[in-house]
């Protein structure tokens, strides 16, 4: 299992465990984490899975996928350098302990 900590805009933190290969979006939904909607199910069509990768983890989560930036441009909260679509970050053993911050709103 891979632990992921989701930090809400209010500062509250929730750490949950996901499976290798699962996305950061799916892991949040499976565990009832508020703040990620994932309306399109991970097909890169909604941007309701926007997250900000904690700066300590940006090297490990890698760069944005093709097309990700265009969608992030339409996100409810303005894109930042660390913005990612959480449906496009797949859990690997290297990501155990990952921290992502959630925007105030996804819609
Ligand atoms: S879940 Fe829709 S773009 Fe990520």
Model confidence pLDDT, tens digit, residues 12-34: 999 999 999 999 999 999 999 99
Ligand 1 nearest atom to the CA of residue 46, by list position: 2
Dihedrals phi, psi of 15, to nearest 5 degrees: -105, 125
What domains can be seen in the chain, in order of their start residue? 2-101 (3.10.20.30)
Helix (H, G, I), strand (E, B) or coil at 2: strand
User: Is the shortest distance between the CB of 7 and ligand 1 below 6 Å?
Assistant: no
Residue 87 CA: nearest ligand 1 atom is 4
pTM: 0.96
Residues 42-86: tens digit of each pLDDT: 999 999 999 999 999 999 999 999 999 999 999 999 999 999 999
| C-alpha of residue 45 to centroid of ligand 1, in Å | 6
Ligand 1 in contact with 38 (CB < 6 A)?
yes
pLDDT at res. 18: 98
């Amino acid at each position: 299992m891979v632990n992921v900590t989701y930090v809400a805009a209010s500062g509250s933190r929730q750490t949950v465990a996901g499976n290798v290969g699962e996305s950061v979006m799916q892991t949040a939904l499976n565990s009832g984490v508020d703040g990620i909607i994932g309306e399109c199910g991970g097909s890169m069509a909604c941007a309701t899975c926007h997250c900000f990768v904690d700066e300590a983890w940006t090297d490990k989560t890698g760069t944005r996928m093709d097309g990700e930036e265009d969608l992030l441009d339409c996100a409810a909260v303005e894109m930042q350098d660390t913005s990612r679509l959480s449906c496009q970050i797949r859990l690997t053993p290297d990501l155990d302990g990952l921290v992502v911050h959630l925007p105030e709103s996804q819609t």
